[in-house]
Structure 1
Amino acid sequence: MKNILKKSTICLVLFVAFLFSCKDLSQLNINPNGVQPETVNPNLIMPTVLTETAKAYVNLGFQDIAGVVQHTQKDAWFSSHNDYDWGGDQSWTAYYDLLRNNDLLYQRAVTLNMEFQQGVALVMKSMIFGLITDLWGDAPYTSALKGELGGVDNIAPKYDGQDVIYAGIIADLDKASTLLSKPKASYSSIVESADMYYAGDPTKWQKLANSLKLRYYMRISAKQPDVAKAGIEKIVANPTQYPIIDDASADATMAFAGNNSGDAWPSNAVFDVSGSNYRRIKMCSTLLKPMQATSDPRLALWAKKVEIPLAVDATLPAGTDKIVNGVRYLSPDKVGTTQIDTDPNYVGLPPSVSQLPSGYNFNPTPGQTSVNPHVSYLNEIYMQAKGTLLKARLVSAAEVRFILAEAAQKGWAAGDAKTQYEAGVKASLTAWGLASSYTAFIAQKGVVYDGTLSQLIGQKWIASWTSATEAWFDYRRTGLPALAAGYAAKRKALPVRFYYMRDELNLNKTNSAAAMDKLEITANSQSDGKNSAWSKPWLVQGTGKPW
């Protein structure tokens, strides 16, 4: 009986195996709960591309790059933020992952003749590739995103020069602007909820495409001034054909949903119950001081007043250190030669002030707890998971107006420089809900237009709060504002690029080595060779900027 059962079982197994062996293996490999790339609807891919790109901009502009351009400083786990202690593992993998998803979005939109989605995908391609070349320099571009095709040249793609990448970006944005130039009713299959930036409004996407062109024309203006001039003048001369983001209502932003740690503002104390991500970030004195000097209304929205001001009183007995009516009083001998800031309202951490920034301004409890009652935290809105002002800000009317003001200062046909500058200031205030403060603020000493590039870039730098990557790229291009590295910084100058990551150097050795050979070694980069954050890429070589 046992032998009969055994034979029957064997026969059943062989039959089942034969049955499945007759099926196409590709059918067995289909995930019944998934969506196949060759059939996916572009509207299913778009939210991932848009949200992850916006989060990437915030993670740069609100985190380490905010430290580079001295908007903020940190007082615990701070060396990357304050001191540019970046090492060699600054990976672009996440950006290329985004580009692969975006390429699928574009290819499916082409197949299905969805012009709106094609235009969006080209704008996002330009934005992400622009960020990669802005951050690293030369990078895989024309040969990128072809790994699935196999072959050494696709798996280890060649690097294109920055000039090639910027030219390609501008060409894609031209194409996107044309694709997005029709009324909304002319497009098929727009799903408003899939578009976290503009709810399916093609006019605003066209404005974003042309505004990005302005950004990149200005980016290359020191290296290719004739190209930049012609490009900017063409856009300004044809506002109907090339509309731009000219007021804050068309800013490219994304609000945070705040449902979980993955879609909440990064410094929130809702999902980070310890509050560490919020407490570690302090205002930087480099930003605070000019904002205080001009009574900038944005300051109270971005910063929190010190909890306990310091006061040094020469009439006090030696050894005095006491709190009276919410103020901590110190006798001069308690202070000695130690750096101290007694501003009663706002106190910022100086850039890279020491190896123990948490001890600044006589903090009684220095250490990793990040508690310092004598330095300004960020405004408490940044403890929230979401809010009307907690947005990823990718491109703004303020940025666009300041670009045009700079172009006009160069003598290009971009409108009146003063008018554009004032419109930039107003657009920034409007974006932060402070439009009513404009008249008084623009009349402030230091804000009244004086015709200098220093003032213009200074206001643009302030307006880039939480979007500090653009401030860094402007600094690299112009040397403005005149930022200086702090005492404990890794080098005595600000960095100008990211390191190529170690995996790329090992796995794509020939092409990455060729890219590194094109970098210009400087006095600040000699200690770590060509692949240094202080080696100059093509964009700033020969310009004498930023240092």
Structure 2
Amino acid sequence: MKYFNNILFVVLALVLGLSVPSCKDLTELNENPNGVPEGKANADLILSTVLTDAAATYTHLGYQDAAGVMQHTQKDAWFSGHNNYDWGPRDWGNYYSMLRNNQTVYEKAVENEMAFHQGVSLVMKSFIYAQITDLWGDAPYSDALKGNLGGAENISPTYDTQKAIYQGIIADLKEADQLLSKGKNSYPEIFAETEKADIIYNGDPAKWQKFANSLLLRYLMRVSEKMDVQSEFVNIVQSQPIFESNEDHALMNFPGSNERSAWPNNTVFDGTDGSNFRRIRPAETLVEALRERNDPRMGVWFANVEVPTRISDEYPHNEIVDGVRYLHADQVDESQVNTNPDYVGVPTQMTTPSGYNLNPTPGQTSNNRFVSYLHDRYRNASGPLLNARLMTYAELNFILAEAAHKGWLADAEGYYNAGVRASLEEWGVGEHAETYLSRVNVTYDGTLERIMRQKWIASWTAAQEAWFDYRRTGLPAMETGPAAPREGLPLRFQYGSNELNFNPQNVNEAIERLVSTAFSQGEVNSQWDKTWILAGTDEPY
């Protein structure tokens, strides 16, 4: 976990000319007279932009819409996208802008024989492309990031299949492993500036090599129902360096010196009554899963409800006495009232979530004191636990536990226990690990469900990984609420308007390769269609 210097965000403006979002296609790079020419741009400065941009983008999704899908959180205002997946077509220009910057780092690294930068750029290329294909499906890959083909602008890049993209990701991570396999003193290109620019690992090639191989295991598991990856997976575990402790995992800490570098939806830079922080509430699904296990992470993530509710005629109906609201049983439907005295989450996909728990003032600017907020730390712009969590040691151990459950490795229980311990330690409650693991609904029981439920819990603020796991395993089981548009959870993002308008032939060919489900309801480019990674499987439906 490393703090990055404020100067890196100034650098973002300097290299803006290298990250212009496409208004027509993925490969047209407009000239910015205020930008730094590629030939003169410093590879370290561009690298810092790639890392900060990728980490922030990953967190914004994992803390917001993906957290809504996977029922970590629900919003009680402006909630339709978060709670009910009312997304519509979504463009991917920001992801390809990051890839353009990253490609510049790679090309400079090759030209100047900078093996460290080349390896890091391959890791980040793999990480970003995996997000793209996991979110949308088929996408421009081999034909992307090329401003000119045959002397003419390439304004309509072809789409590679998801299978081909993953094959490329796997190959790039293997190459990155080799490029990053030497001792730090063997990389003369690593200067103090490089260490400062590398806000993930401070220019440590050994850490990056572990990240490359751990990511490779993530993605091999992702495609394991469609490709035979067992021997490859086992070979990496047995012979290649991977994460060994929480000291290895890939985090970026938000410094919070300005709005761009701050934790999302904080109240430092958005402190109005209508702040986005106020709108995000714990989801009842996660709250009750933690409560059932007496999970010590509950108090790290969530705040106690400001005004608990009690069903009692000790005081007049709907009167607050000493911070407790009293309701008479004959005046309310008790099924609509949550009387937990500590943490109260919002049920999934309610029609009026701001009115939950008999809040008398529902609405977009409501302040519902009868439902929990997130912990006060999430009001801050920065803090020791406010990290972009690109991949953690806990996640790796749950991947290894799943592999052992499949029979690829031995000791599924050992990996499962290590994953639970790592997550508790990451959130500062590691002293409770042995007691927690001894609980009957936490102790490993030999099932995949037990592994995936703890992995889902541990994905807090990186919920897209839980979403990707749910799609291929159906675990943990999720039920939709009354305002959900379909009874099944969505499986992907719809291709965006830019592609539909300016690259119709190629995007429509990709859409034709999607496999509809019962929840697609005849829609084209549906959020409920299956991509290659799910096609032909029975998961999640």
| Structure 1 length-normalised TM | 0.90
Secondary structure in 2 matching 1:392: strand
Task: Tell me the residue number matched to 1:382.
Answer: 378
Report if aligned partners of 1:479, 1:545 keep a CA contact under 8 Å in 2: yes
Query: 5+ unaligned residues in a row in structure 2: which ranges?
Result: 1-30
The code of the aligned residue for 1:336 comes to D
For 1:70, the equivalent position in structure 2 comes to 71
> Map of 1:34-113 to 2, 5 A cutoff?
35-88=36-89, 90-113=90-113
Task: Tell me the SS of whatever aligns to 1:254.
Answer: strand
Q: Quote the residue 2:526 is aligned against.
A: 532
**Displacement of 1:154 after TM fit?**
2.6
Contact (CA 8 Å) 1:519, 1:530: kept in 2 or not? no
Give, in whole Å, the separation in 2 of the partners of 1:35 and 1:502.
Answer: 29
Q: Which one of the candidate residues 485, 497, 505 is aligned to 2:500?
A: 505
In 1: Cα distance, 2:177 partner to 2:514 partner: 33
Contact 1:129 1:169 in 2 (8 A): yes
The structure with more helix, counted as a fraction of residues: 1
Structure of greater Rg = 1
1:234-272 Cα distance to aligned partner (Å, 9 max, x none): 11121xxx1111311111000011011111000210011
In 1, distance between residues paired with 2:224 and 2:337?
Answer: 42
* Structure 2 CA distance for aligned equivalents of residues 397 and 30 of structure 1: 41
Find out whether 1:454 has 2:479 as its counterpart. Answer: no
The CA deviation at 1:412 is: 0.5
The DSSP-based 3-state class of the residue aligned with 1:124 is helix
Tell me how large the CA RMSD over aligned residues is.
1.6
Question: Secondary structure of 1:282's partner?
Answer: strand
Q: Work out which of the residue numbers 418, 426, 433 in structure 1 matches 2:413.
A: 418
Does structure 2 conserve the Cα–Cα contact (< 8 Å) formed by 1:40 and 1:108? no
Q: What residue is the counterpart of 1:334 in the other structure?
A: 331
| Cα shift at 1:147 | 2.4
- Deviation, structure 1 residue 150: 6.7
C-alpha distance in structure 2 between counterparts of 1:481 and 1:462, whole Å: 10
1:311 has 2:307 as partner: no
Q: Which amino acid aligns with 1:84?
A: Y
Aligned residue among 436, 440, 443 for 2:435: 440
Note the C-alpha offset of 1:56: 0.7
Q: Which runs of no fewer than 5 residues in structure 1 stay unpaired?
A: 1-28
Q: Using the alignment, how far apart are the partners of 2:259 and 2:45 within structure 1?
A: 22
SS at match of 1:208: helix
User: How far apart, CA to CA, are the structure 2 residues paired with 1:530 and 1:361?
Assistant: 38
1:442–1:177: structure 2 CA closer, same or farther, 3 Å change rule?
A: same
Of 521, 524, 546, 2:540 maps to 546
Question: In the alignment, which residue of structure 2 is the partner of 1:213?
Answer: 216
Alpha-carbon distance in 2 for matches of 1:337, 1:326:
20
Counterpart code for 1:331: H
Match of 2:516 in 1: 521
Q: 2:175 aligned with 1:185, yes or no?
A: no
Give me the whole-angstrom Cα distance separating, in 2, the residues matched to 1:49 and 1:235: 27
- Does the residue aligned with 1:489 lie in a helix, a strand or coil? coil
- Equivalent residue in structure 1 for 2:405, among 406, 409, 415: 409
Matched, 1:351 2:348: yes
Are 1:472 and 2:472 matched, yes or no? Answer: no
Per the alignment, residue 318 of structure 2 pairs with 321
- Per-residue CA deviation, residues 313-371 of structure 1 (Å, 9 max, x unaligned), is 2x468x721112211011123213651211011110011022x1100001122111241
* Counterpart position of 1:9: none
Aligned-pair identity (%): 53
Partners of 2:189 and 2:217 in 1: CA distance: 30
1:265, 1:386 within 8 Å by CA — same for their partners in 2?
A: yes
Q: For 1:152 and 1:419, locate their aligned partners in 2 and report how far apart those are by CA, in whole Å.
A: 56
**SS of alignment partner, residue 73 of structure 1:** strand
Alpha-carbon distance between aligned partners in 2 of 1:401 and 1:54, rounded to the nearest angstrom: 21
The question of 1:299 aligning with 2:298 is answered: yes
Determine the C-alpha separation between the residues in 2 that align with 1:328 and 1:34. 58
Question: How far apart are the structure 2 equivalents of 1:534 and 1:129?
Answer: 21
Shift of 1:91: 1.1
In structure 1, the partner of 2:25 is none
- Which of 256, 259, 263 pairs up with 1:258? 256
Residue 8 (structure 2) aligns with: none
SS of alignment partner, residue 38 of structure 1: coil
Query: CA-to-partner distance for each residue in 1:134-165, whole Å, 9 max, x for gaps?
Result: 00000000101112447678321111111100
Give, as a single letter, the amino acid of the residue that structure 2 aligns with 1:192: E
TM-score, normalising length: structure 2:
0.91
Contact kept in structure 2, 1:402 and 1:460, CA below 8 Å: yes
User: 1:153 and 1:384 mapped to 2: Cα distance?
Assistant: 45
Any idea what the Cα deviations from partners look like across 1:41-81, whole Å, max 9, x if unmatched? 21121110000000010010001100000000000000000
**2:322 aligned partner, one-letter code:** N
**Which residue pairs with 2:166 in the alignment?**
166
| Residue type of the alignment partner of 1:447 | V
Q: What number of residue pairs does the alignment pair up?
A: 507
* Structure 1 counterpart of 2:10: none
